Amino acid sequence: MNGDPKLERIAKGNALALCATGTWTASFAPVLERMVADAEKLAGTPQSIFIDVSEVAQLDTFGAWLIERLRRSLTQGAVEAQIAGLSANYSSLVDEVRRVKATPVIDTGTVTITGMLEQIGRTVAGIAGTVAGLVDMLGAVLAAAGRVLIHPRSFRLTSTVHHMEQVCWRAVPIIVLITFLIGCIIAQQGIFHFRRFGADIFVVDMLGVLVLREIGVLLVAIMVAGRSGSAYTAELGSMKMREEIDALRTMGFDPIEVLVLPRLLALVLALPILAFLGAMAALYGGGLVAWLYGGVEPEAFLLRLRDAISIDHFIVGIVKAPVMAAVIGIVACVEGLAVQGSAESLGQHTTASVVKGIFFVIVMDGVFAIFFASIGM
Amino acid sequence: MAGEIQNPIIRVRDVTVQFGATRVLNGLDLDVKRGEILGFVGPSGAGKSVLTRTIIGLVPKLAGSIEVFGVDLDSSNTSQRRNVERRWGVLFQQGALFSSLTVRQNIQFPMREYLRVSQRLMDEITMAKLTMVGLKPEVAERFPSELSGGMIKRVALARALSLDPDLVFLDEPTSGLDPIGAGDFDELVRTLQRTLGLTVFMVTHDLDSLYTACDRIAVLGNGKIIAAGSIADMQASQHPWLRQYFHGKRARAVMG
């Protein structure tokens, strides 16, 4: 009896019987749908129609629903369609399916000009919201820091040290490696192009100024935003999703004080250290390439470096580090706390955290460049 | 165990599972009959969920064999395995709904993967499943984060049932539900089992569920099945843990 499903039309007197046979299950759904669609065209004929299901070998929800769908479309009009020959096994399934109300039409949303304009407007308003969110978080963090200064015992030293290990100590190898390689590349490119003017030695000036003022801190800040900013957002975001942050709040803890402040402090302390190590690694890499590739002896390199740069260059670079760290940390924490219930939202906010973090780091760098130029440093 | 069951839907033989040095299941045998609701009980941490996850294939076993629908899952090839997976549905303890998909998309996810059906039929079947598990059609466009605990369980059940499976695994389906909701859920499982001819493997702690929903009960202890049979068999058992479980204060309250 098992086999391909069929729906045969048999005239019985002035009534029409639709005899369903074979397996009416999900695996045959495409065939079944076609047959049912064909049979639905019979709607409106004056004959009385009944659907005979006594020969159906197997029935599941898909088959039962398609028979029910057929019955409903044939019923429209004067004639009432009946289902006949239902075995006891399947009658409860058919009854269950009969309770299903007609499917509401799902609004998929069409693209309109006004809709697009509305979207643009919302995005622009969202940018203002982002800035407001950052300022809000900055205020909350400062308030929390103030409370901690008044009650130093509430400061979370263990947590801060733990995050220092995560964002500083464990970041050292990769930061040193990358900045070392960048130092090598800058020196190689400098020598290659300066050699044509016989100005090989000036590569030391370029390397020193570039690494100490800009590349060292900027590169490290971008890497930290990608490495630690994203981690902060993901941590806080998944805590938000599992209601851990609500739990903290109900126990009378301020999430800013417990979660954000130690992370932010760790980052503010870590970035200057990493920037310093990065700058040293880049200078070392540059010096190595200048020696091996450009024939600049280490003594000559160091002498030239001492002439070319002053402590100002170093200060200009290192002063930027904590500010950039604060920006990265605040952006990461704001995004983390903005995560909604879904995994997709966590992904979006982690992406946003890194993108916005890097963007604000570069904006800050520009602001610093203007400031230092105007005070003559 | 009382007698060999003919042609079981799940046949577990001599299964051993070990995590590090702790042996969770130790030479466990279990048969599940076609068309029954098997309640699976045992103390917390005895390895009920571990056995479920081992049968489904999420936890590797050290020794033993597991057959589902007569297919040995270790020696089966990919297509046999997929065929088995298509015929079972799993309700995880926390629902495990895909958080970035709506309820409708969650229920349609297995259909899209395994069946070639039109969007219209999928939408209609989704509504049918939602009606079956006692939810309103409006729920379809919500995301899992917008649902209550009970609704998540119901949607997860609807998703487990979306391909009309022959076998469903329910991991503590009534935990976290209020007694009325839990009672409704038991009733629902019973009704669905009757209408769809399901076999149900239900891990539970809920005595009410055992009394009202289950045909047979298996008890896990010390890594083995210590007893299997009807609720009357359980009450008659002299095993200390069973005596405590079925004659304790809460059990007496349930029996009235």
Tokens of A336: 């983390």
Per-residue pLDDT at A160 exceeds 80: yes
Rounded Cα gap, residues B24 and A8, in angstroms:
57
Q: Regarding predicted confidence, which is higher, A229 or B100?
A: A229
Give the percent of chain A with pLDDT over 70. 94
pLDDT digit string, tens, across residues A277-293: 999 999 999 999 999 99
DSSP A321-358: HHHHHHHHHHHHHHHHHT--SSHHHHHHHHHHHHHHHH
Neighbours of B200 (CB within 10 A): 24
Task: Calculate mean pLDDT across residues A348-362.
Answer: 94
Q: Which amino acid is at A214?
A: E
pLDDT-based confidence at A163, cuts 50/70/90? Answer: very high
Decide if A61 and B125 are in contact by the 8 Å CB cutoff. Answer: yes
Beta bridge partners of A10: A17
Which residues of A fall within a CB distance of 8 Å from B100? 342-345
Rounded Cα gap, residues A358 and B23, in angstroms:
50
Tokens of B147: 């649902």
Rg (alpha carbons) of chain A, rounded to whole number: 36
Query: Which of A301-315, B38-52, B212-226 tops mean pLDDT?
Result: A301-315
Q: Is some CB atom of chain B closer than 8 A to the CB atom of A66?
A: yes
| pLDDT value for A271 | 95
Decide if B99 and A343 are in contact by the 8 Å CB cutoff. Answer: yes
Give the one of B98, B164, B194 whose C-beta lies nearest to A62's C-beta: B164
Element (H, E) at A6: strand A6-12
Give the one of A33, A61, A341 whose C-beta lies nearest to B145's C-beta: A341
Element (H, E) at B41: strand B37-41
Per-residue pLDDT at A14 exceeds 90: no
| pLDDT value for A2 | 57
Tokens of B248: 């304790």
Rounded Cα gap, residues A230 and B26, in angstroms:
44
| pLDDT value for B253 | 66
pTM above 0.90, yes or no: no
| pLDDT value for A1 | 43
Quick one: DSSP state of residue A80? Answer: P
Place of tokens 């048999």: A10
Q: Is some CB atom of chain B closer than 8 A to the CB atom of A240?
A: no
Give the one of A93, A96, A343 whose C-beta lies nearest to B100's C-beta: A343
Alpha carbon distances (Å) from A372 to A366, A367, B128:
10, 9, 69
Decide if B197 and A89 are in contact by the 8 Å CB cutoff. Answer: yes
Rounded Cα gap, residues B52 and B91, in angstroms:
11
Is the ipTM higher than 0.85? The answer is: no
CA A141 from chain centre, in angstroms, equals 24
Rounded Cα gap, residues A178 and A278, in angstroms:
8
Mean pLDDT of chain A: 87
CB under 8 A, 24+ apart: contacts of B143-149: B143/A341, B143/A342, B143/B99, B143/B100, B143/B101, B143/B102, B143/B103, B144/A341, B144/A342, B144/B95, B144/B97, B144/B98, B144/B99, B144/B101, B144/B103, B144/B106, B145/A340, B145/A341, B145/A342, B145/B99, B146/A341, B147/B103, B149/B176, B149/B177
